[in-house]
Amino acid sequence: MFAWLLEEPETKQLEEHYELRGIIGRGGYADIWVAKDLESKRTVAVKSLHEDKIADMPARNAFVQEARIMMYLQHPGIVPVYDFFQDRRGCLHIVMKLVLGRTLNELLDQIHEEYKGLSEKQLEAMETKQLHDRLEIFLKVCDMVAYAHEKRILHRDLKPSNIMLGKQDDVYVMDWGIAEPHASEEPLQAPEETSGTVCYLAPEIMRRKKYDERSDVYSLGLVLFDLVYLHTAFTELKTDKEVCFYAIRGKTSHRRHDYGYRVPDWLRRTIDYAIYPDPDRRTPSVAIMMEQIRRGMAKDASLLGRLKRFIGL
């Protein structure tokens, strides 16, 4: 069986078409299985609503909405859905492409392992390249989210653990379970019960205020914070209440690279504007944030080229 399975039960049949091989992910209302499609003979992922949620209408409606959104969005970085059905017991299942790889969190863990014991000179050289590569990954994530926004869909749960890096340098934005259509020009009203991960949640949602695409910009800004400084924006805080207190006031943990690398000023500014607590003063769109990053990377590459020519490299 697969070494990365969370659980290896005996093979079980799902209707006539699918053979479940083991659980590869668990969530609050659904599990994800690796399975064999007995008709196409391909290996797939099957996201299945928990049996105890069959009669839970809010959970069912959320699951149906997730399936519809994933089928509606057609982008290389959004996992394709092959099938969506209800079985004889009334349980719902989404059948999709099986993505093998690692999350952004796992990539960051690997970087910390690689940097242990490096000299300052070695780290400087390695991080210059690694940071560039991470920004390229981030731009792919932004492209997917910008596409979803064009289609009037908010993701609402953007964080490193929901970003998957595939085997062929492909990048996927995962888990559209609390994504929401936003067809109107008017902002949405945050519900009394908030969903999502608090340490990546926009302040306006924490405060039960109105929100829109700029709330996804904020979450992406915190993902960029992780990728640039190599620690989370609220790494020193222990409770959700502390995170809310800091985020609403525009405060974070220290904005310094974990290994002393000098982060370019343009990149610091990009992060600062993306995570501004007031959405009216925040970077207004994902597309604008992408343009800021591309422009900054191009400027850095130009400066590096001139420096190399000056010293004769």
pLDDT digits (tens, 9 = 90+) for 243-300: 999 999 999 999 999 999 999 999 999 999 999 999 999 999 999 999 999 999 998 8
Q: What is the pLDDT of residues 61-70, one digit of tens each?
A: 999 999 999 9
Q: Is the pLDDT confidence value at 120 over 60?
A: yes
Find residue 12's DSSP bridge partners: 20
Q: Report the SS3 class of residue 178.
A: coil
Answer yes or no: pTM beyond 0.75. yes
Q: Which residues contact 222 (CB under 8 A, 6 or more apart)?
A: 159, 199, 200, 232, 233, 275
Tell me, yes or no, if the two domains 12-97 and 101-307 fold the same way: no
Q: Rounded mean pLDDT of the chain? A: 90
Q: Is residue 122 within a helix (H) or strand (E), and if so which, with residue range?
A: helix 120-150
Give yes or no: 157 in active site.
yes
What are the structure tokens assigned to 63, written together?
A: 């699951």
- pLDDT band with cut points at 50, 70 and 90 for residue 16: confident
pLDDT score recorded for residue 196: 77
CATH superfamily of 101-307: Transferase(Phosphotransferase) domain 1 (1.10.510.10)
Q: What is the pLDDT of residues 127-150, one digit of tens each?
A: 999 999 999 999 999 999 999 999
Find residue 312's DSSP bridge partners: none
Lowest mean pLDDT among 73-77, 167-171, 238-242, 277-281: 167-171
Q: What is the pLDDT of residues 41-64, one digit of tens each?
A: 999 999 999 999 999 998 999 999
Distance CA 273, CA 309 (A): 34
Q: Is the pLDDT confidence value at 95 over 60?
A: yes
Which of 77, 218, 216 is CA-nearest to residue 153?
A: 216
Task: Provide the sign of the torsion angle of the four alpha carbons 88, 92, 94, 98, taken in this order.
Answer: negative
- Sorted by where each begins, the domain ranges of the chain are 12-97, 101-307
Q: Which fold has domain 12-97?
A: Phosphorylase Kinase; domain 1 (3.30.200)
Strands of 92-97's sheet in order across: 12-14, 18-26, 30-37, 43-49, 92-97, 81-86
Q: Report the SS3 class of residue 254.
A: coil
Which of 31, 56, 87, 157 does the annotation list as catalytic?
157
The residue among 302 and 269 whose pLDDT is bigger is 269
